[in-house]
Amino acid sequence: MSKKRIIKLKEHIIEIVSDSGEGAQKAAVTFAQACAMMGGGLWTVEVIPSEIQPPPHTTAATSGNRIRIAETPVTNAGDFANLVMAFNEMSLLSRIEQGVLADDVMVVIDNKWATDDSPQIRQNYREILDGVISRGGSVIEIPMEEETMKIIEDPTRGKNMFAVGVLAYLYDRNLEVLRSIISETFRSKAQSIIDTNHKLLHAGYEYADKHLDFQFQVKGQVPDHPQVVMNGNTALALGAISAGFKICSMYPITPATSASHELADIFEEFGGLVHQAEDEIAAMGTAIGSYYSGTPTITITSGPGMALKTELQGLCVMTETPLVLVDVQRGGPSTGLPTKIEQSDLLHALYGAPGDAPKVIMAASTIEECFHLMTTARKLAEEFRMLVVVLTDANLATGQQLYRRPDISHDNLPPPMDQNPVSQGTIPFDWDETTGLSRRIIPGQPNGMYVATGLNHGRDGKVRYDYASNQHGHTMRSRKLATLHHALKPPAIFGEEEGDLLLVGWGSTRGAIEEAVTRAREDGKRVSSINLQFISPLPPGLKDIFSRFGKVMTVELNYSDSKTDPLITEENRRYAQLAMVLRAQTLVDVDCYSQVLARPFMPVEIYNVINDEYTRLALPGGAGKAAASAKANLGAD
């Protein structure tokens, strides 16, 4: 086709989905990398089946990725998908059932299922596509498998790169950039495999060029500074190297495992070591022992691993051994939803150890923070002789974000440990009565030998069973959190300093919350938000900030009772996890909006909550201009 219709857009959300094992994720990563290299905004979210080998051609087998591209930087995966590249109708159906597609979504789908031998598959295919059209969407049927088989015998091993070629045409992506990405992706394979994938890429592009009369144009702004694109687990790994960690001791667990894979590839080049322990308990024990001996160590896990590490977390606290523990949160309880996002480990991180076990708890809100918090966590662990827990989640772990290339030219590392002989009579827990801090003695330092025990002990480290030493030890360990609290700054307010409604978030919900707040403020609503990076200790100034707003509520991806649920009263209602902590700590009537969606929040969902609160409280502004269409997409009443 000679004349093309150019559709200019500020942003677009694309999903690529297939059966597990058909390569939709690799296709999406390839396409996303090309988008990143051409500038603008990018955020991706993986769509991962919960089972390793789910039944094929079912909704449970859906695997792929969501890609949000924009002219300017973005901080979350956005609202409803505008285009879906589906390898079969059941993967498309799974996204329809999830409620994440726009009513006017454009579906590009392999048409092989229209003529399948199974009458049921043919019927399902037509009914699902007719449903898309009836809701206002459009469908483009492409013979993906047929075209792929012109180049490769097994279409399941090449259809994904054909799909990338179609998308490259639709979004006017640079083919040479994509060729180089494909070459890098398959660099360990034979040249013939790389060449075949290049042919498939060009075949998809040429088919689309011949049969489609339009293209989307999302012209990304090229930044004036170097950028990188990576997922949160890669950022954790590189951040750990930048922070000077020398050992990563962990046991494989979804969705944290890829962090160890990244480290295993390059850690030795920086003098590091990845230790894969026989289980989570051994990984924690190794990490504590390594840091106790003077080697900076990190351990990375997810919810079930946190549970297994519980007892040794208490040992870490009692011996005041520095340690950084990263929890990449997933759906729970128990095995729960291994590949899906939740923020359900906050209370466990705070209180999951026998007795009173004070810990520093931090939460990364962006992929960029996954990198930088590693340096902060190490410094705090060593300065305060404390366990530092860093919370991320599956959204950050597997998603990709464009951000400014970190400046690592300066020295991020703490000063070398003083291993000179200690003075005669030095004691291992010589707590400062004001701060609770004490000098750390490394095993092997002359005159520094002492007893380290998980039993209650005195300042000299020796076991004590009396009330006074027990009380004093608890006081000093707790005092360190108060000391850190005084070193923190109040959280920055996104929006005005006062207003009708304040949303409080933590972790990866930040981007969606701030985008929703921006939309509401454009409607004239007096709403603001804060994001808490420190959960233990909480930052100062919260009561003062809360007092300047008519209502305060948290927005979280964990469970809470709805006020309208049967039998729920003000006395028995269970609040979302951060809301519980804030209510107890500030004595402010903090409300909450929380869901366990098995996916990130869309900004429109939080925007609708803001509008509902304005309506409920009879505040000026009422429902926003976008509320009606947004609720229609969500199927709300």
Confidence of residue 622 (pLDDT cuts 50, 70, 90): low
Q: How high is the pLDDT of residue 224?
A: 81
Q: Give residues with Cβ within 8 angstroms of 38, minimum separation 6.
A: 173, 174, 177, 220
Q: Quick one: pLDDT at residue 635?
A: 42
By DSSP bridging, strand 5-8 and strand 41-47 are unpaired
Would you state the pLDDT for residue 2?
Answer: 60
Please give the pLDDT value at position 218. 95
Q: What is the pLDDT of residues 560-588, one digit of tens each?
A: 999 999 999 999 999 999 999 999 999 99
Kind and range of the H or E run holding 211: helix 191-211
Averaged pLDDT, 625-635:
45
For the cut 80, the answer to whether the pLDDT of residue 461 exceeds it is yes
Q: What pLDDT shows up at residue 619?
A: 81
**How many CA atoms are closer than 13 Å to the CA of 490, on its beta-carbon side?**
10
pLDDT at 197 > cutoff 80: yes
User: What span, in angstroms and rounded, lies between the C-alpha atoms of 378 and 298?
Assistant: 9
Q: Which two tokens stand for residue 621?
A: 């502004």
Q: What would the pLDDT profile of 351-402 be if each residue is shown by its tens digit?
A: 998 999 999 999 999 999 999 999 999 999 999 999 999 999 999 999 999 9
Q: Is residue 628's pLDDT more than 60?
A: no
CA dist list (Å): 23 to 68, 87, 223: 19, 10, 31
Confidence (pLDDT) at 626: 47
Express the helix, strand and coil content of the chain in percent, nearest 5 each. 40, 20, 40
d(C-alpha 333, C-alpha 342), whole Å: 10
Task: For residues 531-554, give the mean pLDDT.
Answer: 98
Asked whether residue 195 carries a pLDDT value surpassing 90, the answer given is yes
Could you give the CA distance from residue 550 to residue 500 in angstroms, rounded to a whole number?
5
pLDDT at 636 over 60: no
Starting at the earlier edge strand, list the strands of the sheet with 227-231.
138-142, 101-110, 81-86, 11-19, 62-70, 41-47, 400-404, 227-231
Residue type, 403: Y
Burial per residue of 35-50, b for 16 or more beta-carbon CB atoms within 10 angstroms, e otherwise: bbbbbbbbbbbbbbbe
pLDDT one-digit tens code per residue, 234-272:
999 999 999 999 999 999 999 999 999 999 999 999 999
How many alpha carbons fall within 13 Å on the CB side of residue 339? 14
End-to-end alpha carbon distance in the chain: 44
Token pair of 434, please?
Answer: 């004001």
Cis, peptide link before residue 333, omega less than 30° from 0: yes
pLDDT tens sequence across 487-521? 999 999 999 999 999 999 999 999 999 999 999 99
| Size of the chain, expressed as the number of residues it contains | 637
Distance CA 228, CA 43 (A): 12
| DSSP per position, 324-355 | EEEEEE-B-STT-BTTS-----HHHHHH-SSS
Among residues 124, 66, 59, which one has the least CA distance to residue 92? 59
Q: What is the mean pLDDT of residues 516-537?
A: 98
Are the beta carbons of 597 and 382 closer than 8 angstroms? no
According to the model, what pLDDT value does residue 623 have? 58
Percent of the chain with pLDDT over 90: 88
By DSSP bridging, strand 41-47 and strand 534-536 are: unpaired
Task: Give the separation between CA 120 and CA 113, rounded to whole angstroms.
Answer: 10
pLDDT digits (tens, 9 = 90+) for 293-310: 999 999 999 999 999 999
pLDDT confidence tier of residue 598, bands split at 50, 70 and 90: very high
3-state secondary structure of 180: helix
Residue 577 has a pLDDT of: 98
Confidence band for 425, pLDDT divided at 50, 70 and 90: confident
> Token pair for residue 539?
């930052």
Token digits of residue 410: 């300066």
pLDDT tens-digit map of 213-242: 999 999 887 878 889 999 999 999 999 999
Give the model's pLDDT for residue 632.
41
Q: Kindly state the average pLDDT of the residues 72-83.
A: 96
pLDDT digits (tens, 9 = 90+) for 85-137: 999 999 999 999 999 999 999 999 999 999 999 999 999 999 999 999 999 99
Please tell me the distance from the alpha carbon of residue 249 to that of residue 251, in angstroms, as a whole number: 7
Tell which residue, 395, 392, 373, 376, has the closest CA to residue 384: 376
Domains of the chain in start order, with CATH, are 5-217 (3.40.920.10), 228-404 (3.40.50.970), 420-487 (no CATH), 499-634 (3.40.50.920)
**Average pLDDT score, the chain:** 94
pTM: 0.93
Neighbour count for residue 463 (Cβ, 10 Å)? 12
252 to each of 255, 276, 280, how far by Cα in Å?
9, 8, 9
Residue 5 pLDDT > 70: yes
Contact 613, 591 (CB under 8 A): no
Mean pLDDT of all residues in 68-72: 95
Whether the per-residue pLDDT at 346 is higher than 90: the answer is yes
Give the C-alpha separation, 29 to 6, whole Å: 25
Provide the percentage of residues in the chain whose pLDDT is more than 70: 96
Q: What is the pLDDT of residue 630?
A: 45
